[in-house]
Structure 1
Amino acid sequence: MNITITEKAAEALKQKMKTPSSYIKLHYDTEGCGCSVDGVPVLWLVDSKNQEDEVVETNKYPILVEKSKKLFFDDCLTLDWNPNGTFQLKSANEILNGWMTLVDKTGRD
């Protein structure tokens, strides 16, 4: 899996990260979707990685992805920034989520 982060997205991530020890996680959220194969990619800011997480190196920041959820993503992805203040995850084939926010799951204010 390869994720390219655009310059604008990298700057937005940098501003939102609270500490250098925080991780960015690409999570496949199935809550409320009715089925475990129906879901929406979302970005989380987390304090640590767990056993299920794999570190995906990018051109800017490493991103955590759950190993069991990688099958829902194309091999090559781009994380971009929209002028409306949200992130966009896309591949050459589709836009996976055009309105992603970075959800803080660190428990810090």
Structure 2
Amino acid sequence: MKLMFTDMAMLQIKKRIKEEKMFQLKLTYDSDDCGCAVNGISFLQVIEQPNKNDKKLITNFVPTYIEQRHEIFFDEEMKVEFDERSYAFRLSSPQQIINPRLALHIS
């Protein structure tokens, strides 16, 4: 599975983290309180270490992971962009826009 980041998305993520230390990301799918597992929402999460069930994605940015059981909710090739008009990240693939307002959770 591949997740590429545009230059603007990388710049905005670095700005929001505001720390010089190394960080890792996790593409997460949350279906809690969504009624059904297929009605979940995706977001990026800054993590210190991946979990044992996390799988490393092919990326052009920092190490990025996904929980193996959530792979089914995503496409094989995806891209994270930053839209300056809406000031939001967008997760898309050649087939679809997966999340037009992808959140970045920083713990």
Q: Which residue of 2 aligns with 1:2?
A: 2
* Whole-Å separation in 2 of the counterparts to 1:37 and 1:52: 20
* Identical residues among aligned pairs (%): 28
Matched, 1:89 2:71: no
Alignment: residue pair count? 105
The Cα shift of 1:65 comes to 0.5
Query: What TM-score comes out, normalization by structure 1 length?
Result: 0.87
Distance between the aligned counterparts of 1:49 and 1:19, measured in 2?
20
Q: Does 1:70 align with 2:79?
A: no
Q: Separation in 1 of the partners of 2:20 and 2:38?
A: 33
In structure 1, the gaps of 5 or more residues are none
2:101 aligns with 99
* TM-fit CA distance, 1:21: 3.3
Amino acid at match of 1:79: V
Look up the equivalent residue of 1:59 and give its one-letter code: N
Q: Please identify, of 47-56 and 10-19, the stretch whose mean Cα deviation from structure 2 is larger.
A: 10-19
TM-score normalised per structure 2: 0.88
CA distance in 2, matches of 1:30, 1:64: 18
2:45 touches 2:106 (CA, 8 Å); kept in 1? yes
What are structure 2's unaligned runs of at least 5 residues? Answer: none
1:47-62 map, 5 Å: 47-62=48-63
Match of 1:69, SS state, is helix
Q: CA deviation at 1:16?
A: 2.3
Query: Could you tell me whether the CA contact under 8 Å between 2:56 and 2:66 is conserved in 1?
Result: yes
C-alpha displacement at 1:19, in angstroms? 4.8
